Amino acid sequence: MANIPANAPKRDTFLPYGKQWIDEDDIEAVVRTLRSEYITQGPAIERFERKVADYAGAKYAVAFCNGTAALHGACHAAGIGTGDEVVTTPITFLASSNCVLYQGGTPVFADIDPQTYNLAPDQVAARLTDKTKAIIAVDFAGQPAEMDKLAKLARDRNLILIEDAAHSLGADYKGRKVGTWADMTMFSFHPVKHVTTGEGGMIVTDREDLYEKLQLFRNHGMTRDPRLLTQNDGPWYYEMQTLGYNYRMTDLQAALGFSQMDKLDGFVARRREIAARYNEAFSAIPGLVVPRQHPDTNSSWHLYMLRWDERTMPGARDRAFDMMRARHIGVHVHYIPIYRQPYYKQLGYTAEGCPNAEAYYRTAMTLPMFPAMTDEDVNDVIQAIQQTAAAIFRQ
């Protein structure tokens, strides 16, 4: 049992780190689609794609059944294959590097910036070789990576730049919305993300050639487009022109996502309010490190990462984790460095060259952060962290 202070209150219900917010408008949008002629491969898909593309400022968008499928599609469209290397971060979800393995490529992990926890451009540059085909930048916790520097690296070396923006819909970098910096940008619509379709993902791009490849890939490599057919036997005719997958999104998902997009700016504003309250409450507590934002970024705050100073108290994060969970507050850790996973160890990966990622992993804790949190919920988290820090650091 965790050593909880004697005066520490325990919540009656468990507070998760993330959660969707579905209202009656969202439910009605799905019901209307259920009553319509199409529940898959219908017009709701294109409407949702157009809405996200317009929001992000991109020309094209291709919806997928989930974010991992979308990243797989991006790696396929980038032409990644056997012998190709792709540089990415180890502090991310598995999909950011697994998508390279799916294509037969080799992920190469570069260390993170110790302040922002994003992929460090200088570390990327140090890992580029003649085999490098692409860079996958991850906008960790909602803060965009330094996309101008990464885009220059990609241009100078004729590389494809993919932005894994699963965390950063609604954020901007140097005054530009996420979705306009990379060759392809992926958004995720998992329930803990900024807007949800249940499961879902999307790639936005300004390049027509990539757009056409993505469309083929998500639909069995199949097309009916007369412009692309090698022959045409009649109105029933279709061709499989590449090896693709059934990665399609349904109209039910798209209808929910379209409705959710109307609430995105409000959701992001609430996340920023919560982050500001956390920062104010924790920034003056010895032993705690609040997230630091790059001056050119405006985060959409998918996650709030609080770090515990292990130099002051070794194992502080682990003790704090147990104490917070015992109070029914669903803290988490994002993420275990990918090279630590057994599958990657079998492939020969180690922590070599990633000291910042290792230091981050030992000390980071994710706090609850989602728009449906009440002020009382936020107060519960703040009080619990304050009392936990006092107990651990004996203030």
Residues 189 and 200: their CA atoms lie apart, in Å, by: 5
Answer yes or no: are the C-beta atoms of 252 and 353 closer than 8 Å: no
Closest to 101 in 3D by CA, of 344, 393, 358, 266: 344
- Distance, CA of 43 to CA of 31 (rounded, Å): 15
Map residue 57 onto helix, strand or coil.
Answer: coil
Cα distance between residue 370 and residue 262, in whole Å: 17
Cβ atoms of 273 and 375 within 8 Å: the answer is no
Does residue 10 carry a catalytic annotation? no
Residue identified by tokens 């949702």 is: 48
- Alpha-carbon Rg for the chain, nearest whole angstrom, is 22
Active-site hit among 193, 213, 263, 345: 193
Assess whether the previous peptide bond of 211 is cis (omega < 30° from 0).
no
- The residues with which 161 forms a beta bridge, in sequence order, are 135
Residues marked as catalytic: 193
